[in-house]
A = this chain, B = another copy of it.
Amino acid sequence: MQADLTELTIQEVAENTGLTAHTLRYYERIGLIFPINRAESGHRRYCSRDLDWIRFLTCLRKTGMPVREMKRFAELVEQGDSTITQRRALLETHRRRILNTIRELQANLSAVEWKINYYSDLEAEYRIADD
C-alpha cells in the first residue's frame, strides 16, 4: 500500500467542503477532526483521507447531528475496529432521526402549501371583483 501524496492547504479544503478555514481549525481543536499533518512551516496539509472524513462530518452535520454527538462518533472511530457495532448503532439512531425530520417537514410543507393555495384563491377573487 502506498502513502497518500495528496497535500491540500486549508483553503483548498475549505473550498472543497464548503466549510470555512475557521471552521476547519475549530473542528480540529474540539476533536472532531484528528490532528492534521503539518508542512515544515507548521501549515496544515490535508490528505484525501482527511477530506473523506471531513465530507462525512459535513454530511452528519447537515442532517442535524449535534456537534457533541459527532464528537462521540469521532472518538469511536479513533478507538478502532472494536467500536464498529457502536458506530453502526449511533448512525442507525441518526438515520431514524433524519427520517422523522423528513416526515415532519413534509407534513408542515402541506400546511404551507394549503396556505399558498388559499392566498391564490383570494387573489383570484380580488381580480374578479376588480372587473
Contacts and interface: CB of A to CB of B under 8 A. Distances in A.
Interface of A: 56, 59-60, 62-63, 81, 84-85, 87-88, 91-92, 94-95, 98-99, 101-102, 104-106, 108-109, 111-113, 115-116, 119-120, 122-123, 126
A119 B91 contact: yes
A109 B116 contact: no
Contacts of A113: 95
- Residue among A81, A92, A119, A123 with the most chain B CB within 10 A? A119
Helix, strand, loop or mixed for chain A's interface?
helix
B95 A112 contact: yes
A90 to B, nearest CB: 10
A74 B112 CA distance: 15
Contacts of A56: 111, 115
A91 B108 contact: no
A126 B80 CA distance: 13
A39 to B, nearest CB: 30
- Residue among A94, A105, A126 with the most chain B CB within 10 A? A105
B104 A102 contact: no
A116 B85 CA distance: 10
